[in-house]
Amino acid sequence: MSIREGSIPFDISNVREKCFTWYRAIGNINKTPPLILVHGGPGAGSDYHLHLTKPLEATSIPYIFYNQVSCSHSSLIRERAEDKSFWGFDVFCAELDNLVDHFELQKVGFSIYGHS
């Protein structure tokens, strides 16, 4: 399966610094609906989903790991680190929407696996 890794610009209102979301996409995500793996957080990273790699590859399901902002390889937002009101549902939904838009997944569809 092909592997693409990179970062996606992510503009967040009320944040001065430029932000980005790191991702790793495995398989042909633009042909077959991928599974997007959403990690818990804030603070955790996607590494604990790595045990799913072999089962997903055995089924040929394409998938996308990503790290939410302020986690692992994604932007650290220092100016909002202590602002508990910032780290809520809205910012993480906007980031997921940004990822879906970046890969144009509205055309092919997608599924989500996540927990916190």
Highest mean pLDDT among 48-52, 58-62, 81-85, 104-108: 104-108
- What is the per-residue pLDDT for 74? 85
- pLDDT tens for 1-46 read 788 999 999 998 888 889 999 999 999 998 999 999 988 776 677 6
Fold of 3-114: Rossmann fold (3.40.50)
What does the pLDDT look like over 63-78, one tens digit per residue?
999 988 888 888 888 8
pTM for this entry: 0.87
CA distance 108 to 60: 16
Cβ neighbours of residue 1 under 8 Å, at least 6 residues apart? 26, 27, 28, 57, 60, 62
Residue range 92-102: mean pLDDT, rounded = 95
Q: CB atoms < 10 A from the CB of 73, how many?
A: 16
